Structure 1
Amino acid sequence: MTEPSSLSEVRELIDGIDGELVRLLAERQGLVRAAASFKKDTAAVRAPDRVEQVVASVRNRAAGAGLAPDVAEAVWRAMIAAFIELELREHARIETDGQRGGTL
């Protein structure tokens, strides 16, 4: 990538990256919703050991990619917290539907 020559060019490049991140987050959201159907309870949704495993992995990958590990950790912890809340709602919906005899 060539160095941007203006602030507007920097912003345009950031906007492009943001668009790709939104697409990837939407894909991740679909997988989070799918995961909710495999988990038996809210403890499995929260999965603190898995959260720590993901964060450690992201910190390692960040360091190798030239991203500050602290920045990566902060972003992932915020993202994971938001997706856990979504997954808890999805899990509750599945449980409620299951009690009513609904289908997935």
Structure 2
Amino acid sequence: MKPLPLRYRLTVLSRTAAAVAGGYALAAATAAGLGLGLARLGMARADATLAATMLAFVAAAVAAMWAFGCATARRAWLGIAAPALLLGALAWALRGATP
């Protein structure tokens, strides 16, 4: 059996890193950003935290599927990093602003 080319192996490694590390970052940013945002909109802090955490698990699973469903590894990274950065910026802007 012929071994797989190095370029292919590196692409799979990059997608795996995007799924694991990027999915974790997206989940953390989702939990932080949505938790603070929902609390700011008037939801009880405990309920906002619980809702945001449950949605963060969904975001991590979707990120993993996205990483391997994209046409290129670059698109996978961008599709995970962009919402993670936006939600992280939201969390940063709302830090300390909840009642």
Q: Tell me the TM-score range normalised by the shorter chain.
A: 0.3 to 0.5
Structure exhibiting the larger radius of gyration computed from Cα positions:
1
Q: Larger relative contact order (C-alpha < 8 A, sep ≥ 6)?
A: 2
TM-score (norm. length: structure 1) = 0.39
